[in-house]
Every structure is written in structure tokens, then in C-alpha cells.
Chains A and B, each alone.
Chain A
Amino acid sequence: MATITLKDLVKAYGDTEVLHHVAADIQDGEFLVIVGPSGCGKSTLLRMIAGLETVTSGEVSIGDRMVNKLEPADRDIAMVFQNYALYPHMSVRENMAYGLKIRKIDKGEINRRVEEAADILELRPYLDRKPRQLSGGQRQRVAMGRAIVRDPQVFLFDEPLSNLDAKLRVQMRLEIRKLQQKLGVTSIYVTHDQVEAMTLGDRLMVLNGGYVEQLGTPIELYDRPATVFVAGFIGSPAMNLITVEASENQLKLPNGAYLEGGNDLGKVTLGIRPEHLVSDGIGPIRVTVQLFEQLGANTLLHGVLEGTDCDIVASLPGHVSASAGTVMCFSVQAQNLHIFDIQTGKRIGA
């Protein structure tokens, strides 16, 4: 168990800087999720913490130790890879025991730890099988088992669920969370899936193009996204982002309608979450319906602002239907409006 401190971390390949001055303090026992689109540098960051990539500048500390120059094996970490990276010629038991064997840990102790991990992960019947005889979910569990038996200070997960089918992914997500809470080991988890990020993380770090866009709890990120990028990335379906004209206490939509709120700011980006659009028949946001997606519990409406080509998505409770081309009116509460600077993308105001 340990804290992890990232100080001003930079990664560059030649002249190309791919990670720009990343800083974070991760608490003991915390579950941090690093999330971002592919190519944003999230795996690179994780691999730098693991010691699989060199650090160009800055510091990685685990506990009180600066580990920049330490080999991965000496950092007291365990990592779960996307493709599990199980040794195909070893049985499940040997796979889990391999790291301990190298550390010259006593045989009885190895067996005890492997069996304990196997019990936690319900892998006991499979201990003598080879990885290729296991299903995807079981392999995933073996990879976790390999991490658990090491009893490390830190767990690192590199998109561990992306090779599983959707249903199994949801199930394993819960299991990972439960396991982490049970063991209380500081964990860093990389994913591109924002739902996974929201459900797993104590805190989320949103990376984009090598920059940290925001670091905070899932609810902070959802309620008060710091940038347009975070606003569009967190939440599903994605937030509606509309360019509006802000004048004294009024926001002018592209189709000429007015919303209350805002200051005298000129052009700004307005964000409204689909679930915050309330269909009341009289609201100022008039949307021409294009199509509906029926999800059962709620309905997604896809349309455009009346008279413009500005796309709008609204999430409505229950079953709703109307023919394409009809106009529906929505309103939105002032506290659910997010306003961002059009140039910098930064959040303005509360």
C-alpha cells in the first residue's frame, strides 16, 4: 500500500513530446482511472509508472521512493495487460507462481498465496489448466491472480477489459472494483471507455493529446467539466455543444431563440447534457425531430435546432415518439448550463 506521486512528468520521443507536464497525487488505496481517446498518452503514462517506458523528465514516486531509475520488478507493482500476457506454456498455477518463484520465495508460501488468490477469484478448479483452455473472462481473472499473489503496493491495469464481450465486461468491472476495495491496494486503471471510468474510479484523470484536462471525482467531472473536451467526453450520450452569443444575462441560440443566463461574453460554447433537456411544450429550445432511439427506460431524440443544422440530442424518460419533422420544445434549468470559452475551451463561471 502506498501513495503515488507524479511530478511534472514529461515523455518525449526524439523532439516529439507526447506527455506534457503531468502531475498528480494518488492517495493510499485510491482507485485512479486514466481515461482519454486513443493516442492521448494514457498507456504511455501508465507504462512510465510501471517502468516499461523511460521518463524523459519529472519524477515518479511510489511510497516515499523515487522510482524513475528502478527496473519494473523492483518497483513493487503488478500490471494487468490488455491481452493478459499469460505465459501460454505454463498452467494457471505456474503463471501465478512465476514471479514468486523468481523471487525465490519458499515453495509452501507460494502455494499458499496462489491458492488464496485462486479462492478469491474462483479459479481453483482451473489451476492445472493451460491458458488456452480457459475462456476470456477466466484468462482475465488469471491475469488478476498473477497480480494479486505478488501482494504489490500498486496495481496497474492497461485496458484489461477491452477484449471481453459487453456483458462480461460489465461483470468483470464490478469484480475488479470489489476486489480492489477488498484488498485496498492503490490502483491505476487505463481505459478509453468513459462508462468504465465513471463506474470504477474514485477519481478520474482525463487526458487529451498528452495534457491533463481535468482530475477529479466522477461526479465533479460530470457536474462541472473543466473544459469542452471533458464535457464532450464524460457522459453518454455526449453533451450538446452549441456556439451561442452571450450578452447581458441572455444566451442567443443560432436559431435566434434566447436562454436566460450568462454574462456579456460575446461568442461562447454552451453545453447542455441530453438528460437535462426537459420537454415541456413551451420551452425556448425548439428542436426539429429527425429520429428516435428507443432504449426502453428512456428514449434518445436526435434532431436539429429548428431552422439550423445544429445537432441536438435529448434523453427523455419513458417512451416517446413523434414523426420526423415535428418540432418539440425544451427548456433547461440555469444551473444545468455549462459555458466554455470558445478559444481556450476552458469553463467560464460556476
Chain B
Amino acid sequence: MVENRPILGVISHLVLILGVVIVALPIWITFVASTHDAVRMTQVPIPLLPGSHFIENFKETLFGTGLSSSAGAPVWRMLLNSMTMALMIAFGKISISLISAFAIVYFKFPFRMGFFWMIFITLMLPVEVRILPTFEVVANLGMLNSYWGLSIPLIASATATFMFRQVFLTIPDEMLESARIDGAGPMRFFWDILIPLSRTNIAALFVILFIYGWNQYLWPLLITTDSDMTTIVVSIKQMLEAAEQSPKWNIIMMTALLAMIPPVFVVVAMQRLFVQGLTETDK
């Protein structure tokens, strides 16, 4: 809106600044806390300006054992675990959903809609609801404490299948017919036409799924007992509960800071495609 009212301008700026402060303050405190030494972090009031121990904390967190009492792996290992899990979930979900949506939209087979609804119904069964049977299955398959165990149960996805179905339905039939006349078989059509046309949607979904995978807490907590396989989100919580010790806030906050970087990077890198994927209607 193009309006010129000074008071309105001041008020909107105030509201926006307030919003920014509310959102940014916890992140600022995280950053500040990661730059002080352990002693300073136990004193009140908590510091609001950065200290001088950033590099030191960074090294200790990333390559040290984190907290001595957690007897755990260094944080880089957990970052790697989280990264692997998030990527496996994102890629796995996208590939399976693409293929199943392709089958449901473009092939006629008996009980096609039945299968679609079966997939759709799993929306009502998130991991938390089916956690016991899923754990049993994963345990029996010997996938505890493995990347497969971490990612496979989270890969089956109705949302992504549903979304790709909608995307494929917006692609005009003539595109398929034209490809048929050009002599493209089903897989050719899939690779040459469908995938490039859903590129932006794939990117948008990748962002969402990567963050979804990265933020998983309950499932990794349940199936990883080996501290080498713990994910970063789980380990932050474990650090807080480190027994018989006051929490080392500087290290915990540094870990939290490190845990934020990959999702932020993914969002920033994919932002343009992400927005296009959610808003683009032109096919």
C-alpha cells in the first residue's frame, strides 16, 4: 500500500522491530553464551554482549567430547549423523513419493484409487502413533543404531505423494500425448518431462523434509543407544540432563548454534526455488 501517514509508519516500524526482537533475542543469547567461558555462564545476570572465548568453545565443542560426562562422541560426529539422516529422509521421501505419484496419476491398474487412499490414510498415522510397532519392526530387522534404522521408518510419506499427485494433475494431458507421439516411453516421460516440470516443487519439498528430518527427536532417541549414532538434536537435550553437573551453558549453546547452521544454509540456498515451488502455477 502506498500511503503517507507518519504515525502509521512509526507504529508499523515499532511492531516490526518488536517482532524481530522477539524472534532474534533467543538466537542472540545463544550466540552470546557460546562466546563466554563456563564460569561466566554460571553467574547472574546472564551476559548480553559477546565475550572472547568463541574460538576456544568452538574447538572444544566440535572436536572435544562435548561434555565429559556424556562419554559421547564429538559434536562433529553428531552433526554428521543428523546430516546423513536428514538427507536420507529428504531424498528417500522425494524419490518414493515421485514414483508413487507417477504410478497413481499416469497408470491404470486395479484398485488404483484404493492404493491412493491407503497411502492417504497413513497421514493419520505419524511416527508417534505407530512408534511401538515400528520400533519392533526396526529392531527385528537389526537396524537399531544404524542410519537405515534412523531414516527408513520416516521415509514413507503421504504428504509428499499427495503433493506430487497434485503437481502431476496440473500438467496438461496433451503433454503426455505429445510425448507419446514423440515416442517417449513411460520412464522417458518421467525423466525428461515430469521431473524437470516438478523441479521447483521438489526443491520446496526438499527444504521442508530436510528440516523435518533434522528436527526429529523422539525416533532417534528411541532407536539409538550407541552414542556414536546420536543425532545433534537428541544430544543437546542429553547435555542438559548431564547428571551430577551444572550444565555447561557455553558448550551447549555452541552446540545449539552449530545445529542451526545446516537448516539455515539449506533454506537460504534454496529460497528462490522454494518460493517458486509454493507459488508457481504456470505450467
Is B178 an interface position by the 8 A CB rule? yes
Whether B174 lies near A73 (C-beta < 8 A) is no
CB distance from B48 to the nearest CB of A (A): 51
CB distance from A275 to the nearest CB of B (A): 39
Whether A85 lies near B172 (C-beta < 8 A) is yes
Is A132 an interface position by the 8 A CB rule? yes
Q: Which of B241-283 contact A (CB under 8 A)?
A: 282-283
Interface residues on B, range: 10 to 19
- Give which listed residue, B172, B174, B183, contacts A99 with CB less than 8 A: B183
Question: What A residues does B104 contact at CB under 8 A?
Answer: none
With A85-B175, A88-B283, A132-B282 known as contacts, the answer to whether A52 contacts B180 (CB < 8 A) is: yes
Whether A102 lies near B183 (C-beta < 8 A) is yes
Which listed segment binds A: B22-30, B89-97, B138-146, B191-199?
A: B191-199
CB distance from A54 to the nearest CB of B (A): 12
Is B1 an interface position by the 8 A CB rule? no
Q: Which of B178-210 contact A (CB under 8 A)?
A: 178, 180-184, 188, 192-193, 196-197, 199
With A85-B172, A85-B177, A88-B197 known as contacts, the answer to whether A103 contacts B183 (CB < 8 A) is: yes
CB distance from B196 to the nearest CB of A (A): 4
The B interface is mostly helix, strand or loop, or mixed, namely helix
What is the bound-complex CA distance between A83 and B183, given in angstroms? 19
Is A136 an interface position by the 8 A CB rule? no
Interface residues on A, range: 20 to 34
What is the bound-complex CA distance between A88 and B179, given in angstroms? 13
What is the bound-complex CA distance between A257 and B192, given in angstroms? 70
What is the bound-complex CA distance between A87 and B180, given in angstroms? 13
Most buried by A among B174, B175, B181, B282: B181
Extra pairs beyond A87-B193, A102-B188 (12, CB < 8 Å): A51-B180, A52-B181, A79-B178, A79-B181, A83-B172, A83-B174, A85-B172, A88-B282, A89-B196, A98-B184, A99-B181, A132-B282
Binding site for A on B (CB under 8 A): 172, 174-175, 177-178, 180-184, 188, 192-193, 196-197, 199, 282-283
What are 12 of the A-B contact pairs (CB < 8 Å)?
A71-B180, A72-B181, A73-B183, A79-B181, A81-B178, A83-B174, A85-B174, A85-B175, A89-B199, A99-B181, A99-B182, A103-B183
Q: Give 10 closest A-B pairs by Cβ, nearest first.
A: A73-B183, A99-B182, A85-B174, A85-B178, A89-B196, A81-B174, A102-B183, A72-B181, A72-B180, A52-B177
